[in-house]
Amino acid sequence: MAANSGRLTVITGPSGVGKGTLVKQLLERHPTIWLSVSATTRAPRDGELEGQSYFFHSHEQFDQLVKAGGLLEWAEFAGNRYGTPRQPVEEHLSNGRPVLLEIELEGARQVRRSFSNGFQIFLAPPSFEELERRIRGRGTDADEAIQRRLQRAQQELQAQEEFDAVVVNDNIERALAELETLMGLV
C-alpha cells in the first residue's frame, strides 16, 4: 500500500504499553498521517483548542451525533462522553490521507462494527511483568489505581486475537518499524 493512500488504522492496547510514545514518533516520522481528534462533552481545559485537542459538544449535540450515526465509536467516562467523529475521518480518507485512531479496546470493537475496512493493531507488552513495571515506573498513580489498570490490562491482553495484527513493544525502534510496515508507510 502506498504511503499516500487513505487507510484507517486503529491502535489499541493496555495502559502502559507505549501507545502514546509510538503514535508520537509515527506522527513525527510521517506528518501525512492524521491523528483523529475525539469529540467530548467535557469542558475545555486551559490550552485546549477546538478541533485540535477535541471537538467540544454539549450533551445534546453529542446525543444528536450518536443518533445520526456520526460517531465511529463512543464511550462514557466519569460523567462525560468521548467519541470519534465519522465525518473528519471519512474526509481525510477520501483525500488519500492515512488516518490513525489511538483508542481503548471497547472503542476498537465499536469501530470494527461501524467501519469494517479499518486495519486494527493491538500493541502488546513483552510480558505482563514488564507492563506492571512500566505502569509503576510512571509514579503517577496510587496503588489502588495501578491495581485497576493491571486488572483491566489482563482482560485487554486476552483480546489480542481479535485484531488484524499484534505488535509487541519490547523495543521502541523495532515496534515502530513494524507499525510503519503494517500501515504501509515504508
What's the CATH code of the domain at 153? 3.40.50.300
Domain span including residue 156: 8-182
Answer whether 37's CB lies under 8 Å from 52's CB: yes
Average pLDDT, the chain: 92
1 located within any domain: no
144 located within any domain: yes
The whole-number pLDDT of residue 85 equals 96
3 located within any domain: no
25 located within any domain: yes
Count of C-beta atoms within a 10 Å radius of residue 120: 19
Across the chain, where does the E strand assignment appear? 8-12, 34-35, 39-40, 55-56, 71-77, 80-85, 99-102, 119-124, 165-168
Answer whether 123's CB lies under 8 Å from 19's CB: yes
pLDDT in tens, 33-87: 999 999 999 999 999 999 889 999 999 999 999 999 999 999 988 889 999 999 9
The whole-number pLDDT of residue 77 equals 82
The whole-number pLDDT of residue 2 equals 41
Q: Is the pLDDT of residue 135 over 90?
A: no
What is the number of structural domains in the chain? 1
- 11: exposed, middle or buried (C-beta count within 10 Å: 0-12, 13-18, 19+)? buried
pLDDT in tens, 166-183: 999 999 999 999 999 999
Residue % of the chain over a pLDDT of 90: 82
CA dist., res. 48 & res. 55, Å (int): 10
CA dist., res. 161 & res. 137, Å (int): 28
CA dist., res. 55 & res. 89, Å (int): 13
88 located within any domain: yes
CA dist., res. 73 & res. 58, Å (int): 17
35 located within any domain: yes
The three cell numbers of residue 72 are 465511529
